[in-house]
Amino acid sequence: MIPGLATLLCCQLVGEVLARALHLPVPGPVIGMALLFVGLLLRDQFLPAAARPDPGAPGLGRVADTLLSNLGLLFVPAGVGVVVYGPQLARSWAPLSLAIVVGTLLSIAFTGRVAQALMRRFG
């Protein structure tokens, strides 16, 4: 369990350092995700005996599953931040809610359509 958590934090840390050192506009955790993913693929490439599809460090799979199955909880503290923006929201609630609802639903339908069409054609 702890090696798994340490693996996640190491990837995030390296991601944060890379983002700052190279002035990348991409946030550290996203770089960390890419690093972990590439790392796991490389491990399979160079350690043919590694158990698959067990992801690397002991407990990494379990830590990841625990975090991801409670992903909703992690958004709650930021969500409560809505109290700070009361006045701003009251002033421009119409354009904001229109943009959020129509924009999100349109882009879901659009992305899904494009993805389905492309995947049918290319695999």
Shortest Å, Cβ 93 to other proteins: 10
Burial 93-103, CB ≥16 within 10 A → b, else e: eeeeeeeeeee
Classified as helix, coil or strand, 47 is coil
Shortest Å, Cβ 21 to other proteins: 16
How many CB atoms within 10 Å of residue 32? Answer: 21
Binding of residue 85 to other proteins (CB under 8 A)? yes
Binding of residue 84 to other proteins (CB under 8 A)? yes
Distance separating alpha carbons of residues 45 and 42, to the nearest angstrom: 5
Pick the binder of other proteins from 49, 51, 68, 90 (CB under 8 A): 68
Site string for other proteins, 26-65 (x = CB under 8 A): xxxxx-xxx-xx--xx-----------x-x----xx-xxx
